[in-house]
């Protein structure tokens, strides 16, 4: 079945919940305004279940209601994982057998972003969610440049370390900083190195749209919830080729 | 003190002794070195103000000029005040401007009388700056007497972070009206690695607002109004961290900030700032905070965001003990030690809440007179805001049960967005419910003798003692280099800001440290 509706407690009931704030004090008119917004968003009927004034001129609302939109799951476009998920052992073995040298990975947070939590989760030995980071893989040589690395520094280090892949993490998204930084980074690599010599460029962060790889000039985007093992498997897939 | 955990006082004493032994070499290092930022802080206290047309502060231009002529090892005070006398200038900012234009040549006077005269003038000028700090402290005491402290413990600590000081102000005032006792203005990401303090009121920042003297002044003035309105003194917090922590500490003292984030190792571990630079800057900034009556907030919570909160629990205790030693050594008193810790254990782990209680109570019992800062979950906030709100409720409950002093309000939208107005409201409602319903539950909460919580606390303390023994044997700098804290490996000869460190020459003179040495 490719056509679906939201599910409250009965198939096809289309029920959703929504919360938001309007910049008005709480009164009857404010509640009407909240329902009007919900109606305009396609909720019909909309039930206002909670309204509470905050400070002088703001009210918080929770609305439940039915939407009539149909969703066709066949029409959804996503980046499906198009490479096999390997264990650490398989990653190491494949690199050893086919590349016959360690695969060099350089990682950094670029721009003013000081949040190393993403890059550290992927690179640090400690890893995330019980999965060890790339430092744990004996056949990966990892350079973690940390936070607030400038693009020229990154390019220089990638060159010096003969990086096969460059991993860039971007957490801060204010004013689209993550997109601007990524574009600046890919432009610099394109300028500095000819196509065949360029490392694989990968960005990751919780707010990237995985479909934007082409537009940003990177080889791959990894979104929220990515684990080190997925990244390692992708590196093997893209740089070494699979065993088959 | 037997307390609720039945800690062995001999073990506690041993832990403190070890922390002092581990910290001592670092203090010696700090006492024998200076940095560009320490010297700039001296000049700020001596009255240098403003910036050139590129926004580079005159203190930077002046320190750079002195350094180019005579190096940093003598301290800048004597060369600068000797130049004031020989040029006949009486405005130190004007001297900085002339020096920046290359019109002043600095030297260290050879004649003893000249050197003594320069020292006297430097001492007088910086004494004026310290007097401002003293006046601000007295002013705070007066306002607290007039408006009063928060009625409940823990104090409720909320963050604002819009990037624009003129947006921050109404948000901070609204947060105070909604119940916040302490307002922290998060800094723009990236400021910690700027080797200068930006100037003026700022309206653009990334994920935070620049710490500047003018921003400090504007926010403090606004919160003074709100304190008056609410009949409760609302405290203001910022960050004395990063490459400019000594200067920011001085500015905070002169603008009556009340609390400052100030950790002995945070910059090293999380910002890759050179360890020696950090320890030198740290000691000076703590001395200034001691004088200003500022409560410091240390950053142990951060270790748990990178390392596992159960495995690394003892590193928090070790860091708290080190922070306590460094703080006392710099002249801070117990009431000024907002030692940090956090609710960061994976909620999927069985007994996670009991473990949290054990860790939080251990901190409480080890530091009974310190205003402990209790930090909310961040690492296991997933974007599931409903679960997040529940987790924050348990965090609040743990805070109440273990008698924490300053509670940083957790946001269910952690890891999703910078807090919305409604997120803050929901979060405060959560805090109010827990404090109203269970605020005094710590009176009844006595862990069973020999039970899970006591055992866990004893084993964490035991591991902390073992780690401290190892640090004493290997030296703290080696431990940091090897990734003992927060898993970050930070060797002493690497990291940002090392080129701004200089060893004291024999005639090093710093009128501010002279006045602040305990």
Asked if the ipTM is above 0.95, the reply is no
pLDDT of residue B488: 67
Are the beta carbons of A206 and B177 separated by less than 8 Å?
A: no
| Residues B370, B337: Cα–Cα separation, whole Å | 5
Residues A160 and A234 in one domain: yes
At residue A20, the 3 state secondary structure works out as: strand
Q: Are A204 and A227 in contact (CB under 8 A)?
A: no
d(CA B193, nearest CA chain A) in Å: 8
Cβ contacts (< 8 Å) between B190 and chain A: which residues?
A: 112-114, 148
Residues A96 and A215 in one domain: yes
| Residues B394, B354: Cα–Cα separation, whole Å | 11
At residue A238, the 3 state secondary structure works out as: helix
Cβ contacts (< 8 Å) between B206 and chain A: which residues?
A: 112-113, 172, 174-175, 177
Cβ contacts (< 8 Å) between A60 and chain B: which residues?
A: 421-422, 425-426
Residues A114 and A212 in one domain: yes
Give DSSP secondary structure letters for B290-345. Answer: HHHTPEEE--THHHHHHS-TTTTHHHHHHHHHHHHHHHHHTT--GGGEE-EEE--S
- Chain B's closest residue to A54, CA to CA, is B425
Residue A230, domain extent: 88-240
With an 8 Å Cβ cutoff, is A113 touching chain B? Answer: yes
Q: Are B209 and B185 in contact (CB under 8 A)?
A: yes
Cβ contacts (< 8 Å) between B163 and chain A: which residues?
A: 174
* Domain stops at, among A73, A101, A124: A73
Domain count for chain A: 2
d(CA B207, nearest CA chain A) in Å: 7
Query: Domain B148-453 is of which CATH architecture?
Result: Alpha-Beta Barrel (3.20)
Residues A176 and A229 in one domain: yes
Digit-coded pLDDT (tens) for A48-103? 999 999 988 899 999 999 999 999 999 988 878 889 999 999 999 999 999 999 99
Are the beta carbons of A21 and B420 separated by less than 8 Å?
A: yes
Within a domain: residue A173? Answer: yes
Are the beta carbons of A21 and B177 separated by less than 8 Å?
A: no
Within a domain: residue A80? Answer: no
Q: Testing the interface with B: which of A19, A53, A55, A109 to mutate, by most B Cβ within 10 A? A: A55
Is B301 part of the annotated catalytic residue set?
A: yes
Residues A31 and A128 in one domain: no
Residues A109 and A50 in one domain: no
| Residues B401, B443: Cα–Cα separation, whole Å | 8
Who contacts B145 (Cβ-Cβ below 8 Å, separation ≥6)?
none
Residues A106 and A203 in one domain: yes
Q: Are B227 and B143 in contact (CB under 8 A)?
A: yes
Question: Which residue positions in chain A have pLDDT lower than 70?
Answer: 1, 114, 126-127, 129-130, 242-244
Catalytic annotation, residues of A:
126
pLDDT tens digit at each of 518 positions of chain B:
459 999 999 999 999 999 999 999 999 999 999 999 999 999 999 999 999 999 999 999 999 999 999 999 999 999 999 999 999 999 999 999 999 999 999 999 999 999 999 999 999 999 999 999 999 999 999 999 999 999 999 999 999 888 899 999 999 999 999 999 999 999 887 788 889 999 999 998 877 899 999 999 999 999 999 999 999 999 999 999 999 999 999 999 999 999 999 999 888 887 778 999 999 999 999 999 999 999 999 998 877 776 788 988 999 999 999 999 999 999 999 999 999 999 999 999 999 999 999 999 999 999 999 999 999 998 888 789 999 999 999 999 999 999 999 999 999 988 677 788 899 999 999 999 999 999 999 999 999 999 999 999 999 999 999 999 999 999 999 999 887 776 667 889 988 899 999 999 999 999 999 999 97
Residues A203 and A93 in one domain: yes
- Chain A's closest residue to B175, CA to CA, is A55
Within a domain: residue A79? Answer: no
* Domain stops at, among A43, A73, A103: A73
Within a domain: residue A81? Answer: no
pLDDT of residue B381: 86
Omega prior to B111 cis, within 30 of 0: no
| Residues A127, B308: Cα–Cα separation, whole Å | 10
Residues A15 and A102 in one domain: no
Minimum-distance CB partner of A114 among B163, B271, B415: B271
Write down the domain spans for chain B: 33-126, 148-453
Q: Which runs of E-coded beta strand occur in B74-177?
A: 155-160
| Residues B431, B189: Cα–Cα separation, whole Å | 28
Bridge partners (DSSP) listed for residue A168: A108, A203
Minimum-distance CB partner of B271 among A60, A126, A147: A147
At residue B397, the 3 state secondary structure works out as: helix
Which CATH number characterizes residue A45's domain? 3.30.30.60
Smallest CA-to-CA distance from B424 within B156, B155, B150 is with: B156
pLDDT of residue A114: 66
Within a domain: residue A98? Answer: yes
Within a domain: residue A118? Answer: yes
A residues 130-159 lying closer than 8 A (beta carbon) to B: 146-148
pLDDT of residue B306: 66
* Domain stops at, among A38, A73, A108: A73
Within a domain: residue A212? Answer: yes
Digit-coded pLDDT (tens) for B125-153? 999 999 999 999 999 999 999 999 999 99
Residues A111 and A231 in one domain: yes
Are the beta carbons of B421 and A58 separated by less than 8 Å?
A: yes
Which CATH number characterizes residue A114's domain? 3.40.50.280
Cβ contacts (< 8 Å) between A117 and chain B: which residues?
A: 305-306
Minimum-distance CB partner of A21 among B174, B307, B422: B422
d(CA B160, nearest CA chain A) in Å: 15
Residues A101 and A221 in one domain: yes
């Amino acid at each position: 079945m490719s056509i679906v509706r939201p599910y409250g407690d009965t198939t096809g009931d289309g029920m959703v919940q929504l919360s938001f704030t309007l910049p008005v004090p709480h009164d009857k008119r404010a509640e009407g305004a909240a329902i009007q917004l919900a109606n305009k968003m396609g909720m019909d009927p909309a039930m206002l279940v909670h309204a509470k004034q905050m400070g002088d001129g703001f009210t918080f609302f929770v609305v439940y209601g039915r939407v009539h939109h149909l969703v066709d799951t066949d029409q959804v476009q996503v980046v499906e994982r198009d490479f096999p998920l390997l264990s650490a052992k398989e990653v190491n073995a494949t690199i050893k057998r086919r590349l016959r040298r360690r695969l060099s990975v350089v990682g950094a947070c670029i721009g003013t972003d000081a949040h190393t939590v993403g890059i550290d989760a992927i690179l640090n030995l400690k890893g995330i969610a019980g999965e060890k980071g790339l430092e744990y893989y004996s056949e990966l040589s990892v350079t973690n440049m940390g936070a607030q690395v400038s693009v020229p520094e990154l390019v220089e280090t990638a060159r010096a370390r003969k990086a096969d892949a460059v991993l860039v993490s971007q957490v801060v998204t204010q004013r689209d900083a993550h997109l601007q930084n990524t574009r600046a980074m890919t432009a610099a690599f394109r300028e500095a190195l000819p196509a065949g010599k360029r490392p694989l460029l990968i960005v990751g962060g919780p707010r990237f749209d995985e479909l934007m790889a082409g537009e940003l000039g990177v080889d791959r985007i990894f979104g929220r919830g990515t684990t080190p093992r997925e990244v390692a498997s992708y590196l093997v897939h893209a740089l070494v080729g699979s065993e088959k | 003190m037997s307390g609720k955990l039945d800690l062995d006082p001999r073990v506690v004493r041993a832990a403190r002794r070890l922390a002092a032994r581990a910290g001592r070499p670092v203090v010696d290092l700090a006492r024998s070195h200076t940095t560009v930022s320490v010297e700039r802080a001296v000049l700020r206290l001596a009255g240098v103000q403003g910036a050139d047309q590129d926004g580079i502060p005159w203190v930077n231009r002046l320190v750079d000029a002195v350094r180019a002529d005579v190096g940093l090892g003598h301290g800048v005070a004597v060369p600068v005040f000797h130049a004031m006398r020989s040029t006949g200038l009486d405005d130190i900012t004007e001297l900085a401007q002339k020096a920046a234009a290359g019109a002043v040549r600095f030297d260290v006077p050879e004649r003893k009388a000249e050197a003594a005269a320069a020292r006297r003038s430097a001492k007088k000028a910086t004494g004026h700056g310290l007097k401002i700090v003293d006046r601000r402290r007295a002013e705070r005491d007066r306002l607290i007497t007039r408006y009063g402290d928060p009625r409940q413990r823990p104090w409720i600590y909320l963050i604002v972070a819009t990037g624009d000081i003129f947006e921050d102000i109404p948000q901070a005032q609204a947060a105070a009206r909604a119940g916040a006792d302490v307002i922290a203005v998060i800094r723009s990401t990236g400021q910690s690695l700027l080797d200068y303090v930006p100037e003026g009121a700022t309206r653009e920042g990334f994920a935070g607002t620049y710490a500047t003297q003018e921003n400090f002044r504007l926010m403090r003035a606004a919160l003074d109004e709100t304190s008056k309105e609410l009949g409760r003194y609302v405290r203001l917090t910022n960050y004395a961290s990063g490459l400019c922590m000594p200067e920011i500490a001085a500015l905070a003292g002169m603008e009556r900030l009340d609390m400052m984030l100030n950790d002995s190792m945070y910059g090293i571990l999380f910002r890759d700032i050179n360890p020696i630079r950090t320890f030198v800057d740290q000691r000076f900034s703590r001395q200034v905070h001691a004088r200003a009556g500022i409560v410091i907030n240390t950053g142990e919570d951060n270790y748990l965001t990178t390392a596992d909160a159960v495995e690394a629990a003892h590193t928090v205790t070790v860091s708290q003990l080190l922070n306590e030693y460094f703080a006392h050594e710099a002249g801070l008193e117990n009431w000024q030690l907002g030692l940090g810790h956090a609710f960061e254990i994976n909620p999927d782990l069985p007994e996670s809440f009991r473990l949290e209680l054990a860790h939080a109570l251990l901190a409480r019992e080890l530091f009974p007179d310190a205003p402990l800062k209790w930090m909310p979950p961040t690492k296991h906030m997933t974007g599931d805001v409903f679960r997040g709100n529940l987790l924050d409720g348990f965090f609040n409950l743990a805070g109440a049960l273990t008698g924490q002093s300053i509670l940083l309000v957790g946001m269910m939208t952690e890891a999703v967005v910078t807090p919305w107005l409604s997120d803050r409201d929901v979060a405060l409602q959560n805090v109010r419910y827990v404090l109203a319903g269970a605020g005094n539950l710590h009176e009844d909460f006595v862990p069973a003798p020999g039970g899970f919580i006591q055992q866990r606390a004893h084993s964490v303390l035991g591991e902390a003692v073992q780690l401290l023994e190892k640090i004493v044997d290997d030296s703290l700098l080696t431990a940091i280099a090897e990734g003992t804290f927060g898993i970050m490996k930070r060797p002493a000869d690497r990291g940002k800001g090392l080129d701004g460190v200089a060893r004291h020459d024999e005639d090093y003179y710093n009128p501010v440290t002279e006045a602040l040495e305990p």
